[in-house]
Structure 1
Amino acid sequence: MISVIGTGPGSRMMLTRQAENAIDRAEFLVGWPRLLALFPDFIGERMEMSGSIDLMLDWLRCNKRRRVAVLASGDPMLFGIGKCIADAIEPGYRECLPGISSVQLLFSELGLAMNDVFITSSHGKQPNFDFLFAHSKVALVTDKSIGPYQLAQQAMIRDLRCTFIIGERLGYADQRISIVPPHKVEMEYDMNVVVILNERQ
């Protein structure tokens, strides 16, 4: 059984009991080094993910009858690796154990409702900025190419009155949340989630 486990935003304290049990039962623990480091007491075999998702999926297909725990940051089905594994491994040989996403954590820290938020990602793709800014409340998981600064520049080009909320390293002891207008958004932030509140809506 391939168990895709949402590890939450970075703190082992945010892991569900169901996820902990799946890890305890696993023969193999698969993940990026940052996630594997959360489980120094794991007694099975560890496998670091390489840059090739295809190679990992091939290995999972060959080992779907073993007890394998694949670690995913946040919630695996919110712009995570969960969809790739669900497409590659047939039902009956996989399960997905959701975790707390960084988007959820940021909204909870702010006391801000998620009922009306449009959630998307800029990972490896160019957003449709006009569509993005048409929403009154947007949350984005960002990457190095399209991050808070690039989004803020696009907001200023459109002369938008909006507020940027940038959550960095959410779930870690050194997490930081900045609430600023577009012209005060800095060029560099650590791994982050951005919430944009459009004040014209």
Structure 2
Amino acid sequence: MIDVVGIGPGDVSYGLLGSEALYEQADYILGSERHLEILPAQYAHKGVVPPKKLAALESLIASYPEESHIVYLVSGDPLIYGLGKWMSEKFKGRTRIFSGISAMQYLASQAFIPMNDAYLTSSHAKTPDFDLIMSLSKVFMVTDDNVGPYQIAQEAVKRGLKKTIIIGEQLSYDDEKITILPASEVQNRKYKMNVVVVMDER
């Protein structure tokens, strides 16, 4: 059994109730160093930092006995730009998904933004379709170092669009920062781990 567990946006208080029972049952608990930090001390010895490349990850999981109980910790919700889809397809019939609160949902709650009409996307390792994004009234984006808040805002500016940009950095952590401003005022600087919302000005 492989349980892919969304741990929420970061702070342990946003994790799923019942996760500790999964940790107790697990033979191996996979996750990044940051994810494994949430483990209670008695389960830390089960922690494994997996390779980042999917082919190597597949080989690692395949190397474990098939009867093993594997828990894989991931940020947010595994099915919102996470490993959930890949894991459920690669290890069909062996995978369960436990959805946590995504960083997008967390930012929406902190900034009081209804998500009913939102479009969700990501700039991780790809060039976003900015013509589509800028044509919509409300878009949530997980960003990376190449396409971050400033680059997204500039796409609105060069199209002459009046967009509000909401930037959530280090969401749920002690140094959380949420900034709301017009696209034209977004600074060209280094942003910490973040989610961006692009909205029509109101």
Bin for the TM-score computed over the shorter chain: over 0.9
Confirm or deny: 8 A CA contact 1:29 1:70 kept in the other structure: yes
Moved over 3 A (4+): none
Matched, 1:167 2:168: yes
| Structure-1 residue corresponding to 2:39 | 39
Give per-residue Cα distances to partners, 1:32-55, cap 9 Å, x unaligned.
111111115115422112232211
TM-score normalised to structure 2 length: 0.94
Give per-residue Cα distances to partners, 1:47-70, cap 9 Å, x unaligned.
112232211122223434201110
- Which 5+ residue runs of structure 2 have no aligned equivalent? none
Matched, 1:25 2:35: no
| Structure-1 residue corresponding to 2:102 | 101
Q: Which amino acid is 1:18 matched to?
A: G
Confirm or deny: 8 A CA contact 1:2 1:60 kept in the other structure: no
| Structure-2 residue corresponding to 1:71 | 73
**Distance in 1 (alpha carbons) for counterparts of 2:108 and 2:155:** 23
Number of residue equivalences = 199
1:1-201 aligned within 5 A: 1-41=1-41, 42-63=43-64, 64-91=66-93, 93-187=94-188, 188-199=190-201
Q: Give the 3 Å change call, closer, same or farther, for CA 43–156 of structure 1 in structure 2.
A: closer
Higher mean Cα deviation, 39-48 or 118-127? 39-48
- What is the SS of the residue equivalent to 2:160? coil
Give per-residue Cα distances to partners, 1:95-132, cap 9 Å, x unaligned.
11110000000000111111010111111111111111
Paired-residue identity, % = 37
**Distance in 1 (alpha carbons) for counterparts of 2:56 and 2:28:** 16
**Distance in 1 (alpha carbons) for counterparts of 2:18 and 2:61:** 21
- What is the SS of the residue equivalent to 1:79? coil
Confirm or deny: 8 A CA contact 1:86 1:94 kept in the other structure: yes
Give per-residue Cα distances to partners, 1:140-190, cap 9 Å, x unaligned.
000011111111111110011010000001111111100011122122210
Cα RMSD (Å): 1.4
- What is the SS of the residue equivalent to 2:157? helix
- Which 5+ residue runs of structure 1 have no aligned equivalent? none
Confirm or deny: 8 A CA contact 1:61 1:89 kept in the other structure: no
